[in-house]
């Protein structure tokens, strides 16, 4: 009886304290976990509703408090001004460790600095950029060939799956020096990719599942499935490392240094040979998986949303097509190249023309495709590859808007919401409008604290230029030579994971263009 009376008073006091509170509904002991769980599958849009009104949303949870921010001033404070106070943190690390280990996206301090220094050296290399261009062109043409065959047979394709295969093959070749062939015409089973996606979904769920540690200890449910997925992931990753080490050793034994490819993994393998580096095979495994999530998932999901945006905004697709046609003619004239005369019904001449067009695309020439760059950037504004990015809080702090944050909690800036805020982008914020990025036809950047798709401050994405290079290469070929149509009644919605991928893929039919 006494317990019931105490509970009643607790609920009454709590109800009274919430009468004028703005934000998610909270309850004693569980905080806002109930409302967040009920909206989990649409959490990004759930946050849009609150952040459009409040700019900062505080969400108490059973064991921590999340503070979500969308105001550029707050974002700059967290990512730059007081950077040292907002690391990835122990909480984030514990959620993601099973997948990303101690890789660059999951660590702070000296571990992060060493990996970033090594990776930045590689990304600054002209040799790597030139090799990347060649690889991105090669796999974009393989994708084009698959689409051509699909168009001949009026075959439905899952564009997201094809793009995931293309970017996985690309990052494995550019980053790790190995050819894995998942984009082969017969589309072989890809157990690694399936396991990687499953693991990504499950570790994301941990952020709002207070019972995940119990399930992990008892080896139950999603955590049991996660263990199986990690086994597949590790088998693949360690085989890649073993193969590269063997190739390096063979090149040394034959005194043929030219066979040593200076990709990112090779650079880390060489560092691991120094006893003072403390780099083990587990460290190399973490390097590989962090670059997979950076080079495969982010690029493929952005391209998927980009294709969807173009096909659902016909004026954008036509304007992009016109830019690419004009580019093709101008570049051929500059290079004194005679364009192949082709008929889209003649597959041999069609493929020759696609290959010829791809040969005109390089880092410098694509820099003049301002509308293409704007289409990709506008896609990233509304559909950022990383829709939320949480940071730990080391010490109590006050954000520029006056919000107090406590040590041990988490602050999450939300690129998905930021791109939809009228206070950031004006009354047409929700509209897909590539023209917003152009002034007199030339692309204009926005502040990285307002357009946060590549993060900002000391952790700004090292692979930004490489990502744009691959996305422009692929999208230029796709939008120049193909038209896409959504399969009737196919649902398009995101799924909750660290990357903003489509839950049901992107099912399309394909038509060739002249």
Q: Which residues pair with 69 in a beta bridge?
A: 56, 413
Buried b (16+ CB within 10 A) or exposed e, 244-282: bbebbeeeeeeeeeeebbebbbbbbbebbeeeeeebeee
User: How does DSSP classify residue 63?
Assistant: S
Distance CA 381, CA 252 (A): 47
Distance CA 469, CA 451 (A): 19
Angle between helices 464-481 and 314-334 (to 10 degrees): 100
Helix (H) or strand (E) holding 146: helix 126-152
152: annotated binding-site residue?
A: no
Residue with tokens 């006091």: 13
CB-count exposure of residue 442 (10 Å: 0-12, 13-18, 19+): exposed
* 437 Cβ contact list (under 8 Å, min separation 6): 373, 374, 377, 378, 443, 444, 446
Distance CA 164, CA 159 (A): 9
Distance CA 424, CA 414 (A): 13
Distance CA 445, CA 37 (A): 37
Distance CA 391, CA 88 (A): 5
> What secondary structure does DSSP assign to 359-373, as a single string?
HT--HHHHTT-HHHH
- Cα-based distances in Å from 361 to 354, 366, 473: 11, 6, 7
- Cα-based distances in Å from 490 to 54, 379, 507: 34, 20, 7
Structure tokens at 41: 């599958």
Distance CA 321, CA 288 (A): 36
Query: How many residues can be counted in the chain?
Result: 514
Distance CA 155, CA 180 (A): 25
- Cα-based distances in Å from 323 to 302, 317, 319: 20, 10, 6
Pairing of strands 482-486, 397-398: unpaired
Distance CA 108, CA 83 (A): 11
Return binding residues. 461
Return binding residues for heme. 461
């Amino acid at each position: 009886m006494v317990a019931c009376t105490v509970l009643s008073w607790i609920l009454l006091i709590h109800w009274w304290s919430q009468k004028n509170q703005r934000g998610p509904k909270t309850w004693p002991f569980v905080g806002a976990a109930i409302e967040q769980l009920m909206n989990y599958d649409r959490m990004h849009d759930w946050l849009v509703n609150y952040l459009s009104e409040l700019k900062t949303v505080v969400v108490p949870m059973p064991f921590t408090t999340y503070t979500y921010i969308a105001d550029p001033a707050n974002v700059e404070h967290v990512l730059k001004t007081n950077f040292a106070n907002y690391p990835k943190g122990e909480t984030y690390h514990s959620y993601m460790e099973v997948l990303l280990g101690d890789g660059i996206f999951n660590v702070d301090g000296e571990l992060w600095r060493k990996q970033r220094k090594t990776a930045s050296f590689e990304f600054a290399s002209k040799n790597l950029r030139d090799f990347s261009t060649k690889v991105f062109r090669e796999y974009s043409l393989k994708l084009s060939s698959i689409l051509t065959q699909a168009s001949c047979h009026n075959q439905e394709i899952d564009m997201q799956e094809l793009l995931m295969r293309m970017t996985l093959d690309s990052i494995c070749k550019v980053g790790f020096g190995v050819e894995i062939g998942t984009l082969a015409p017969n589309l072989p089973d890809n157990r690694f990719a399936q396991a990687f996606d499953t693991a990504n979904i499950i570790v994301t769920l941990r952020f709002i599942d207070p019972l995940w540690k119990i399930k992990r200890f008892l080896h139950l449910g999603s955590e049991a499935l996660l263990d199986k997925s990690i086994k597949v992931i590790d088998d693949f990753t360690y085989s890649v490392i073993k193969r590269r080490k063997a190739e390096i050793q063979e090149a040394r034994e034959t005194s043929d240094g030219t066979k040593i490819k200076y990709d990112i993994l090779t650079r880390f393998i060489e560092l691991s040979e120094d006893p003072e580096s403390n780099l083990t095979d587990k460290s190399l495994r973490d390097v590989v998986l962090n670059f997979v999530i950076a080079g495969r998932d982010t690029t493929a999901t952005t391209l998927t949303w980009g294709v969807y945006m173009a096909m659902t905004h016909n004026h954008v697709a036509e304007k992009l097509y016109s830019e690419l046609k004009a580019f093709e003619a101008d570049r051929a004239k500059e290079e004194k190249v005679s364009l192949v005369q082709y008929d889209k019904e003649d597959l041999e001449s069609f493929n020759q023309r696609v290959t010829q067009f791809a040969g005109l695309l390089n880092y410098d020439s694509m820099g003049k495709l301002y509308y293409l760059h704007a289409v990709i950037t506008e896609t990233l504004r509304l559909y950022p590859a990383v829709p939320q990015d949480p940071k730990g809080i080391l010490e109590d702090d006050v954000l520029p808007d006056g919000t107090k944050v406590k040590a041990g909690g988490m602050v999450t800036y939300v690129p998905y919401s930021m791109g939809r805020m009228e206070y950031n982008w004006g009354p047409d914020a929700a509209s897909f409008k590539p023209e917003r990025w152009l002034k007199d036809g030339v692309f204009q950047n926005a502040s990285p604290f307002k357009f946060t798709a590549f993060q900002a401050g000391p952790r700004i994405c090292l692979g930004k230029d490489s990502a744009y290079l691959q996305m422009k290469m692929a999208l230029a070929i796709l939008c120049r030579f193909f038209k896409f149509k959504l399969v009737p009644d196919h649902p398009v919605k995101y799924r909750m994971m660290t990357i903003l991928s489509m839950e049901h893929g992107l099912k399309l039919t394909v038509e060739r263009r002249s």
